[in-house]
Structure 1
Amino acid sequence: MNKLDALKDMTVVVADTGDIEAIRQHQPADATTNPSLILKAAQLDAYQPLIAGAISWAKQCNNSESLVSNACDKLAVAIGCEILQIIPGLISTEVDARLSFDREATIAKARKLIQMYHDAGIDKDRVLIKIAATWEGIQAAKALESEGIHCNLTLLFNFSQAVACAEADVTLISPFVGRILDWYKANQPNEDYSGPRDPGVQSVTQIYNYYKQHGYNTVVMGASFRNTGEIEQLAGCDKLTISPDLLSQLQLDTSTLSRKLSAENADTNIEKLSLSEADFRWAMNQDVMAAEKLADGIRRFAADQQTLEDMIQQNL
C-alpha cells in the first residue's frame, strides 16, 4: 500500500486544484478551489469552452452585477460542476476575497453561487462556500449556515479564528499549514521546524484536539501544505486538502504511514472558550503571524480575482 491509500483509510483526502485531469488521476473524495486555482485552471485549453459559456451566460444575465463579475461567478460554478461529475463528495467555491470585510455582501454572493449551482442541477449539500475567516466572514457564515448553506472558512491561521468558527457552527474550516511555516522560516530562520516542530502542524493539531475534546461538529481540514512531511504529521485529521504534486509524491511512497490524530486521544486541556468581537479582534491584533498572513492571503486572492476578471474582459 502506498501512503496515499493509507492516508485515505484514516482521513478524507481532498484535491486542492481545479485541474480535472489531476482529480481523475488521484480520485479524491472532495475538491477545493479558490481564485488562484480557478485562474490557473482557466488558462488550460480544456477550460476554454467553459470560459466562452460563462461569457455567453453573463451577457444574458439580468442583475445588478457587471458582466465580468457574472462571468467569473459562472466560470467558478461551471468548473465546480465539472469536478462534481468526477468526485463523490463536495466542491468548495470561494466568495470574492474583496468582500472579506463585508458581511452582507458575502451573504449575497454566497446565495447567488448556491442558486447558480441549483440552476445547474447541483444540490446545495454538495457545495461548500469558501469565505475568509475574518470576523465579518465568520458572522456571514453563521447566517448562511442557519439557511442551510454550508461554509468552508479559509485563510485560518490561529486558534481564535478556529474558536469563533466553531461557535458559529460552520460546517468546515481550512487551517493553513504551509503559510504558517513560511512566516516562521522568514522571521525565525534558525529554528528547527521538522516533523512535529512545524508550527503549522502544531496549530492544526491544537485546533483538531480542541474541537474533539469539546464535541464541536465543525470539520477540520488541514490545507496549504509545503511538503508531504506536514501531511504525514496530520494523518487522521478529519480532512486534508492536498495539491496534485503532493498527492503524486504520496502515491509513489510505499513506506509506512502511522496515524497521528484521533478523536479518542484528543486532549488539549483548554477550557471551552467563547469570543466576543472585541476578544477576536484583540487576539488577531496580538498574533503578528496570523494578522500578516490573513491580510496577505486576502490580498493574493483578490489580485488573482482581478487577473481573472482582466482575462475575461479580454475575451469579451
Structure 2
Amino acid sequence: MTQSAFDQLQAITTIVADTGDLKAIQQFRPLDATTNPSLITAAATQPENRELIEDAYTQARNEDYQSDELIERSIDILTVKLGVEILKSIQGRVSTEVDAALSYDTDATVAKAKQLLALYSSYGIDQSRILIKIAATWEGIQAAKQLEAEGIHCNLTLLFGLAQAKACADAQVTLISPFVGRILDWYKKAEQVDHYPIEKDPGVLSVKQIYQLYKHNQIKTEIMGASFRSIDQVLGLAGCDLLTVSPALLAELAQDHRQVSHQLLSQASTAVEADFKLDKAQFKQQLEADLMAFQLLQGGIDGFIKAREQLSTLLRQSFGIDAEIKA
C-alpha cells in the first residue's frame, strides 16, 4: 500500500505539532511541538488539564504572588507545566511563547524568557529542549539576539515579510515561523479572491521566497512554515526545514495517499542577494511599506494578548478571584 502523505512528508521535513492537546501529541508523536497563547487557553479548558491549572495556581500562591501578579504567574507556570507534559511525549523541543504584551519591550522580553527557562529548569528540563517564542517585532528580534548570544534558542513568530526575515537572520536566531494561512487570508480579502491554486498561493510563495533567500545566502536559521489552512498548503512546502501543523491537518495527511515530492529545492540562480543588516529605522520603513506584513504582525500580537486575557479571566473565575482587582 502507498505510504500516507504524512509518512512521506516526515521523510523530507521535520513535522511539528501545533497544539497544546496532549492526546494529539501522543497520537502523532512529532519530533517537536509548538504552543501559543491561543493554544494554551484552549488546552486550559480541557477537563483533563484541570489538575495542571490547580497546581499552577497553588504554586504561584505559595510563592506569595498576589492579585494581578498571582494570575500572571499562574499563567506562566501553567504554560511551562503544559510544556513539560508535552516534552514527555516528544524527543525534541517545545516552543513556549513570551507574553505578547511585551512584544515592543526588549528588556522585558529578555527577562520573561529567563523566568520561563528558570521554571523549566525547576522541573528538570534542560534549556536545550526549549525554544523561546517571540513576536518578530524589531524589539522582539533584538531580545532574541541577546538571548541567542547567551545560548538561549529562540523561535521568532508572527513573521510575514522579508524585513522580519532579514532582521532575524542578522540576529542569528535559531528558528523563524513564517505564517502561511494568515497571509492567504489577507490576500483573499484584499483581492476579493475565493481561491488561489497552490502554485500561486501567496502564503506558500512567501515561505518559498524566504527559503530561497536563506539558503542562497547560507543563513543557518531554520525555517518552520506555520498557520496552515489546508494540507495542500502543507504539501506545497514539502522539504521545508520544519512545518508546524495542527492535529486536524495531521489527521488529514495520515488519510491522504497522494505522492509527496520536495517543493523547496534550492535554486541559487533565482535567489536574490540581500542586505541582512537593517537598523531600526530601515526595518520599520520596510515593514510599514509591506501593508500585509505590517497589519498581520500587529493583528497577531493583539490576538495573542486577547487569548492571554481570556485565560486570565478563566483563572479568576475558576478560583473565585475578584475580576475587578484592577479597579
TM (norm. structure 2) is: 0.94
Give 1:311's aligned residue: 314
CA contact (8 A) 2:188 2:195 kept: no
Runs of 4+ in structure 1 deviating by more than 4 angstroms, as ranges, are: 62-65
CA contact (8 A) 1:61 1:70 kept: no
Give 1:241's aligned residue: 244
Give 1:49's aligned residue: 51
Alpha-carbon shift at residue 60 of structure 1 (Å): 1.6
Report the residue type matching 1:289 in the other structure. M
Give 2:6's aligned residue: 4
Tell whether 2:91 aligns with 1:88.
Answer: yes
CA contact (8 A) 2:212 2:271 kept: no
Tell whether 2:172 aligns with 1:169.
Answer: yes
> In 2, distance between residues paired with 1:232 and 1:248?
14
Q: How has the CA–CA distance of structure 1 residues 247 and 134 changed in structure 2, closer, same or farther, with 3 Å as cutoff?
A: same
**Per-residue CA distance 1:12-38 (angstroms, 9 max, x = gap):** 000000001111111111000000000
Q: Unaligned regions of 5+ residues in structure 1, if any?
A: none
Percent identity of equivalent pairs: 50
Q: Unaligned regions of 5+ residues in structure 2, if any?
A: 320-327
> In 1, distance between residues paired with 2:115 and 2:65?
11
| 144, 147, 150: which one aligns with 2:150 | 147
Q: Secondary structure at the match of 1:235?
A: coil
Report the residue type matching 1:39 in the other structure. T
| 108, 113, 132: which one aligns with 1:110 | 113
Alpha-carbon shift at residue 96 of structure 1 (Å): 0.5
Give 1:26's aligned residue: 28
**Per-residue CA distance 1:26-79 (angstroms, 9 max, x = gap):** 111100000000000110011000000000110022579811011000000000
> In 2, distance between residues paired with 1:312 and 1:169?
37
Deviates more, 1:221-230 or 1:61-70: 61-70
Q: Secondary structure at the match of 1:309?
A: helix
- Root-mean-square deviation over aligned CA pairs: 1.3
**Per-residue CA distance 1:117-159 (angstroms, 9 max, x = gap):** 0110000000001000000000000001111111000000001
> In 1, distance between residues paired with 2:252 and 2:271?
35
**Alignment size in residue pairs:** 315
**Per-residue CA distance 1:148-184 (angstroms, 9 max, x = gap):** 1110000000011000001000000000000000000
Deviates more, 1:242-251 or 1:192-201: 192-201
**Per-residue CA distance 1:212-240 (angstroms, 9 max, x = gap):** 11111100000000001111110000000
Q: How has the CA–CA distance of structure 1 residues 27 and 300 changed in structure 2, closer, same or farther, with 3 Å as cutoff?
A: same
> In 1, distance between residues paired with 2:146 and 2:65?
23
Q: Secondary structure at the match of 1:9?
A: helix
